[in-house]
Amino acid sequence: MSGAIHVLNGPNLNRLGLREPEIYGHTTLAEIEAMCRAAAAPRELVFRQSNAECQIIDWIHEAIDTGAAAIVINPAGLTFTSVPIMDALKMFPRTVIELHISNIHRREAVYHHSLVSKVATAVIAGLGAEGYRVAVQAAGRLAV
C-alpha cells in the first residue's frame, strides 16, 4: 500500500530526554524521529508532536484525507482522557498502533485504562524509545 506512516506524539513528549529519565529514558524526540525515519525507509514518514489535543485530531483527519498507510500514535496523557482522539482514530480505516515508552500497566492505576486501545490494531508498551522502531516496522508490514 502506498501512503505515509504518520507518527503522532502527544503532550510532554517534546520533553523526552529531560522529563523523568528514570521512566522515559534519555533519548530525545529528535533522536526518536531519526530512528523512525530509518525504520520506515523507503516509505514516507510524517512525524509530529503537539501538546494540544485539537492539533492531534487535525493530524488524524489529515492522515485519513491523504490516504496514510498507518498511524503510530503515542497519545501520552491523552490516552486516558481523550474521547475525541479515540473517535478520530475510529474513522481511520487502516492500521493504528498505540505506543507507550513505559509499560503503562506497571504504573499507577490512572494509567491502566486506555481509550485508544479500544480502537487500535495493536499496542506496544514498555520497550522504551526502541518501541518506536518496532511500531514503525510493524506498521509498514501491516500496511501492505
pLDDT in tens, 5-34: 999 999 999 999 998 898 898 999 999 999
For residue 57, what is the enclosing H or E element? helix 53-65
Q: Enter the DSSP assignment of 104.
A: G
User: Would residue 72 count as lying in a domain?
Assistant: yes
The residue annotated as part of the active site, out of 6, 26, 61, 100, is 100
**Packing angle between helix 83-90 and helix 53-65, nearest 10 degrees?**
0
* Number of folded domains that form the chain: 1
Task: Considering the candidates 24, 105, 112, 132, report the single residue annotated as catalytic.
Answer: 24
User: Residue 46: helix, strand or coil by DSSP?
Assistant: strand
Q: What is the pLDDT of residues 84-108, one digit of tens each?
A: 999 999 999 999 999 999 888 887 7
- The three cell numbers of residue 47 are 512525524
Q: Is 24 annotated as catalytic?
A: yes
In a domain, 41, yes or no: yes
Residue 54 lies in a domain: yes
CATH number at residue 49: 3.40.50.9100
- For residue 92, tell me if it sits in a domain: yes
Contact between 61 and 92 (Cβ < 8 Å): no
The rounded distance, in Å, linking the Cα atoms of 66 and 128 is 30
What range defines the domain where residue 74 resides? 5-105
